[in-house]
Amino acid sequence: MKLLISNDDGVYALGIRVLANTLATAGHDVTVVCPDRERSATGHGLTLHQPIRADVIEAIFHPSIKAWACSGTPSDCVKLALWALLDSPPDFVLSGINHGANLGTDVLYSGTVSAAMEGVLEGIPSIAFSLTSHKSHDFQPAADFACSLVQQLKEQPLPLTLLNVNVPAIAASEIKGAIVTRQGIRRYVDVFEKRADPRGKTYYWLAGELLEDVEDPGVPDEVPTDVQANRDHYITITPLHYNLTSPSGLKVMQQWAQGFPQIKSTD
């Protein structure tokens, strides 16, 4: 299959190299277009006020892989690949393997998930892969799972969906399996450390810390959250979409929408 791979950790990240090389070795036609440096937590940002440059990268990936390093964001990379660099659309857009978890509400900030979401916005099924540790460097179990998941989706296609996959950073023998989950919620304490530069000017460094995992009372709990299932040593697969409409909010507001203030004409 024809695969486009991007990430937010940059072209030299080990995660994307292991993912791309594993898929290329399995016989897939792989193209890599990713940031030329780390662009974590950029969300779905796009570059609008300066040019985007893309340089061909050699000698990093498997010989069969065509690769570019892009000066833009993860979303820029996918958009540029689909509209300028590739001669035809890929079968899948893959993002990752991210160095660190993208669980729960992390997906709102994640450049990894946003790169995959860009594929879905362009009508291409997409998957975001993350290894749930910043310390572990063993990306092979996640890459092997990615290879098998892509093959399964080829044989059993889904409706257009983004799959957010998080792989526990443990030995492959300790992973209990893969399960479908719903998005959980993770709250952070955003601590800004106040510092001074060598010239005495004040600056601030964001150092958010995880406070707790919380449940969303508006979501049925028959399906486990990605946060809890990953903690229980499962690979989590969470289907996401870009429509952020709140069904419960929509239902309530429809009941009292007639009470909205009316704009009066000044004529």
pLDDT of residue 40: 85
- The pTM of this model reads 0.89
Which residue, among 83, 61, 4, 71, has the nearest Cα to 39 in the 3D structure? Answer: 71
Where helices occur in 133-235 by DSSP H, the ranges are 140-155, 226-231
Average pLDDT over residues 177-198: 86
Tens-place pLDDT, residues 63-112: 999 999 999 999 999 999 999 999 999 999 999 999 999 999 889 999 99
User: What share of the chain in percent tops pLDDT 90?
Assistant: 70
Are the CB atoms for 224 and 233 separated by under 8 Å? no
- The pLDDT value recorded for residue 214 is 59
Other beta carbons within 10 Å of 179: 16
Judged on CB neighbours under 10 Å (0-12, 13-18, 19+), 6 is buried
Q: Are 134 and 101 in contact (CB under 8 A)?
A: no
What single letter denotes the amino acid at residue 232? D
* Mutual angle of helices 140-155 and 14-25, in 10-degree steps: 50
pLDDT at 218 over 80: no
Which fold would CATH assign to domain 2-183+223-254?
Answer: Stationary-phase Survival Protein Sure Homolog; Chain: A, (3.40.1210)
The band of 61, judged by pLDDT with boundaries at 50, 70 and 90, is: very high
Q: Containing H/E element for 127?
A: strand 126-131
